[in-house]
Amino acid sequence: MAGSVMLQSLCCIIPHSPRFQFLKVVQTVWKVGKDGIEAGTNLVPDSVPRSIARVSVTVVALALSLFVLKSLLSTVFFVLATMGLVYFTFIALNKDEGPKGGGGTTSTPKEEGMEDSLEEARRIMEKYK
């Protein structure tokens, strides 16, 4: 109860700050978690003491939550790693080919194609002098 009062007093300092929004989210998650644990505790038979039932439901809920989080993160990292592998394989297999279209060139003036185009440009310039 004291922690909730302290969070509420902190939230009233600056109502539109990011800290305020974060604290509101934490409060909401806390309330939903408490309500979920209470609902789970009510599903346990009455022969089990309430404190033991509450602790058991909390442990099970945490274990399930961590399992789901681990699975989600594992899937995300696997997809990212696969995308990276495909990208680098694509780059490695296509590094022979130069840029397509009207993009920049990486050739030097001493290359054969560049010399031909320079000669052609000189001939055109001489023609119109």
- Which band of pLDDT confidence, cut at 50, 70 and 90, is reported for residue 18? confident
CA-CA distance, 102 to 17, in Å (whole number)? 49
- Which band of pLDDT confidence, cut at 50, 70 and 90, is reported for residue 129? confident
* Prediction pTM value: 0.52
Does residue 13 have a pLDDT over 70? no
Q: What's the pLDDT tens digit per position in 77-88?
A: 999 999 999 999
Residue 15: the pLDDT is 60
The residues spanned by each domain of the chain are 2-93
Q: What's the pLDDT tens digit per position in 81-115?
A: 999 999 999 999 988 776 665 555 555 545 566 77
Contact between residue 24 and residue 10 where contact means Cβ atoms under 8 Å apart: no
**pLDDT, averaged across the chain:** 83
Structural tokens at position 88: 């680098």
